[in-house]
Chains A and B, each alone.
Chain A
């Protein structure tokens, strides 16, 4: 530097003063060079240091004396050496300056440095040496790479996400969408980025969607999700389960919305089909029940007439009745009784669903059992059945159905007793963690294991018909009542020597303990 840049003077200056000023100027210049963090070096044409600033010395961990006159090469990464050599050579040509990145050895670490180099020439244009001003950009580059990597990862995640995703501007404009989203809405990328979400949202969802977004904007909520109907490019509806959140800048100002859209169109359609099928089924069930009721009622009507008038007929033909005709008469009467019982049982079976849909209440099983015994009084008296039960719990159910349940099980035990000894029936209950196990066991004929499932099928009987009360419906009604309540029924061996035990589970309910 041969001039002062802050004193613009035209006065005559003596050479001594000039020399003094030059020294001052050089000191200032040195101060400037030494104080900064930029790395400043000069090398001669052979690549030896002619100048290094403090920052450079600090970086290398070496003193100026050690560096000056030494070769630059050891401090350049072997793979970058040719590049550096070519660069320095290039500086000899106009425009005599350039920029280069290479790895420098700072202490024991190779770190990426960015150098701005230029050739220092004398007035005649001869190159005296080369100067480089450099900066350690390792950290910066690493951050850039990390950022790029993270951006790439986001892009891949976004693009390959298994659900539709989009980034939406504050005004609703689509900024970025993934291919799933394009497939969901049927639009091309170029089309969708010219649209706002309002353009493809079904009208009735626009208002609620905008309201939710304004709550997001105000910070009242941090995200929201809802079901939403979109209009596909082809005009039909598609359904999405959307989940929207907002992205803000470092100051907390909102930047854009990020939405995830799960395509639930099929689910919606299936649900609608299911609902319509359920409606259909329930209507058809009601009709069937109504039908069964009417049929049962209308079938019993002529039956009543048959039994009434056959009785009258017998009276008027009394004189002509012999043993044979009396037997025929008995068969007709027994058959009508049996048919009547069957119709009544069928009716109970068919209307069970209606009864089970009514509200359940607390049922004291001891009471249900005594009702069942009362209903079966003639059969119990006739057979001399002994029924023994321990104290039974109170459960949640339908009183009439529970009574029918016990009645059918006891009736079954009486019907299939062994003629040689009086029938004994024992009813017990044990509590498990979440259910009751009931056992109704008898000393009757028993049921072969092979037939234990079959007896619950409607109209199944294992023995030839012996009396009119055997309709083949009782046990299937038992099964239906138990299964409607969420329980199971099965048959085990009786512990009373012969016979079998009808066991069933019945779910406990929290209300029972009240």
Chain B
């Protein structure tokens, strides 16, 4: 069970819907905040800094890209320890390499069926428990 709050930075409503739905099915008990722009995500993090959220970050975003948002988080003293998981439809190895280089906690490719998210939440839960 994931109990920590989640900040979802994702511009596609359909994807957000799927994530929301699958989290609910998985038994997510925290609060989910969804923003569609990187800049809004950074703002939300600043206001949520006491809640130790988990960030789910898409790469292909309008305005600030996911890579830029991640770099911003990792270079900001107040946010740099926040766990960030990349959730993308990209299968470009360059995106993977760049994410790991920018110290993303892990990189997930969006599954093509809702059941596929189960494994992702599983991984994130294991991670959160380990903390």
Q: Which residues of A contact B (CB under 8 A)?
A: 293, 297, 300-301, 303-305, 307-309, 311-312, 336-337, 340, 344, 347
Contact = CB atoms under 8 A, between A and B. Distances in A.
A252 B21 CA distance: 98
B46 interface: no
A113 B124 CA distance: 119
Could you say which of A293, A301, A304, A307 has the most chain B C-beta atoms within 10 Å of its C-beta? A304
B14 A305 contact: yes
B114 interface: yes
Contact of A303 (B18, B90, B112, B115): B112
Given A305-B14, A307-B112, A308-B112, 20 more contacts: A297-B89, A297-B90, A300-B89, A301-B89, A304-B89, A304-B112, A305-B15, A307-B113, A308-B111, A308-B113, A309-B14, A311-B113, A311-B114, A311-B115, A312-B21, A312-B114, A336-B112, A337-B112, A340-B112, A344-B91
Contacts of A297: 89-92
Contacts of B89: 297, 300-301, 304
B71 interface: no
Interface in B54-103: 89-92
A180 to B, nearest CB: 57
Contacts of A344: 91
Contacts of A312: 21, 114
A308 B18 contact: yes
**Those 5 A-B pairs whose CB atoms lie nearest each other, nearest first:** A304-B112, A307-B112, A305-B14, A311-B113, A308-B114
Nearest to B18: A308
Nearest to B117: A308
Contacts of A293: 92
Interface string B109-122: 01111110000000
A340 B109 CA distance: 14
Contacts of A311: 113-115
Contacts of B114: 308, 311-312
A309 to B, nearest CB: 7
A96 to B, nearest CB: 110
Contacts, number: 34
A293 B92 CA distance: 9
Contacts of B21: 312
Contacts of B90: 297
Could you say which interface size class chain B belongs to? 10 to 19
Nearest to A301: B89
A300 B92 CA distance: 13
A304 B110 contact: yes
Contacts of B15: 305
Could you say which of B91, B111, B112, B115 has the most chain A C-beta atoms within 10 Å of its C-beta? B112
A309 B21 CA distance: 11
A308 B115 CA distance: 9
20 contacts: A297-B89, A297-B91, A297-B92, A300-B89, A301-B89, A304-B89, A304-B110, A304-B111, A304-B112, A305-B14, A305-B15, A307-B112, A307-B113, A308-B112, A309-B14, A309-B18, A311-B113, A311-B114, A337-B112, A347-B91
B18 to A, nearest CB: 5
A340 B14 CA distance: 18
Nearest to A305: B14
Contacts of A340: 112
A157 B80 CA distance: 84
A4 B110 CA distance: 134
A310 to B, nearest CB: 9
A307 B113 CA distance: 6
Nearest to A309: B14
A344 B90 CA distance: 12
Contacts of B18: 308-309
Contacts of A301: 89
Nearest to B116: A308
B21 to A, nearest CB: 7
Contacts of B111: 304, 308
A297 B18 CA distance: 19
A511 B75 CA distance: 45
A81 B5 CA distance: 134
Contacts of A305: 14-15
A301 B112 CA distance: 9
A347 B92 CA distance: 10
Nearest to B110: A304
A180 B106 CA distance: 73
A303 B14 CA distance: 12
A305 B89 CA distance: 11
Nearest to A347: B91
B24 to A, nearest CB: 12
A68 B24 CA distance: 146
Contacts of B14: 305, 308-309
B91 to A, nearest CB: 8
A112 B113 CA distance: 113
Contacts of A300: 89
Nearest to B88: A297
A309 B113 CA distance: 8
A337 B112 CA distance: 9
Contacts of A304: 89, 110-112
Nearest to A293: B92
Could you say which of A300, A305, A309, A337 has the most chain B C-beta atoms within 10 Å of its C-beta? A305
Contacts of B113: 307-308, 311
Could you say which of B18, B113, B114 has the most chain A C-beta atoms within 10 Å of its C-beta? B113
A311 B21 CA distance: 13
A72 B21 CA distance: 137
Contacts of A336: 112
Contacts of B92: 293, 297
Nearest to A340: B112
Nearest to A296: B91
B119 to A, nearest CB: 15
A309 B18 CA distance: 8
